[in-house]
Structure 1
């Protein structure tokens, strides 16, 4: 499955449960979704995945977890590395 906007949730500054709700809604119709975050939002992405797995529905499981870094240009013009994470959540096969 390709990573388009329908099967990818980008984590930002919204409340945590907003992302949890989005993940659950997407998993109702799709077999696999990807949670993506970078920088300080990585902790939120991990929290979202854990809440979906442990508190809402045991029918889901973690797929692949990819960590990486990207080169970004900061506001002062310098280039710096920013960490990224991609967490795949999929339905368990019963």
Structure 2
């Protein structure tokens, strides 16, 4: 379960998502969607491990402090989603990756 977002958090998330989308779209259009390139694009925006950044298997996620911005980036498309942090995220990935395990 992810945390519910307030209208203010959603608005902040949309602003962050716009910046992230712009930067990742530049990488995608150049044909480089490697994990290293996606991580570098996010670092260019000042997003690093301290922001819960996770990049793996075409998936990326960033915790902005207010919301999570995550999605997939491939040579063909870029998706972006704004959501709250997960109460129990996937271990080792930051607060924005849904836990795929069970209890």
Q: Which has the larger radius of gyration?
A: 1
**TM superposition score normalised by structure 1:** 0.32
TM-score (norm 2): 0.30
Structure with a larger share of its residues in strand: 1
